[in-house]
Amino acid sequence: MNNRSDSAGRIGRTTGSIAGVGTKVLAGGRSARYLRSLKALDGAGKLATADISELVDAVHREFADKFCSTPVGIVAHCYLGAPYEVHTLAMDGSIISHYRTGEALPHGMDRARSLAESDHYLAIEVYPDRLVCVRPDGSTVLLESDR
């Protein structure tokens, strides 16, 4: 198990499965369909409402098909340029939002911001008790809270 501790009090684990309090999140690879949906997030300003709905449905299908937990939201690097830094997709039915540098993110997603700015990850899935970093190839790194 490739474990490590860092100053943020989290444990990093690459692909595998874990059992949490009342939930199970498989940190295994993500599907090609899901990766395509994540890549489409940055073009959200040009997507029709139906396209955004299809995106949210694709994310829900990924988790309904494979996992027992759905993220609170997803945070990713925003390539729209200054002043935007990251964008989010909240799984509570919210639309995709682009955030300026320093602007607070909703639903506890701020803790994923610095990871989302990295080119190492396509997106960061935010759960109440953990973060799952999705790499461009679909592999994942699990960061679990010590709480």
- pLDDT tens digits, one per residue of 21-79: 323 445 678 888 888 878 877 654 555 555 667 777 777 777 777 776 778 889 999 88
Q: How many domains are there within the chain?
A: 1
- Supply the pTM of this predicted model: 0.74
Say yes or no to pLDDT of 112 above 90: yes
Report yes or no: 42 and 53 within 8 Å, Cβ to Cβ: no
* For range 7-34, the mean pLDDT: 51
Report yes or no: 80 and 95 within 8 Å, Cβ to Cβ: no
| Distance from C-alpha of 93 to C-alpha of 107, rounded to nearest angstrom | 13
Domain boundaries, position 25? 4-145
Report yes or no: 112 and 5 within 8 Å, Cβ to Cβ: no
Say yes or no to pLDDT of 85 above 60: yes
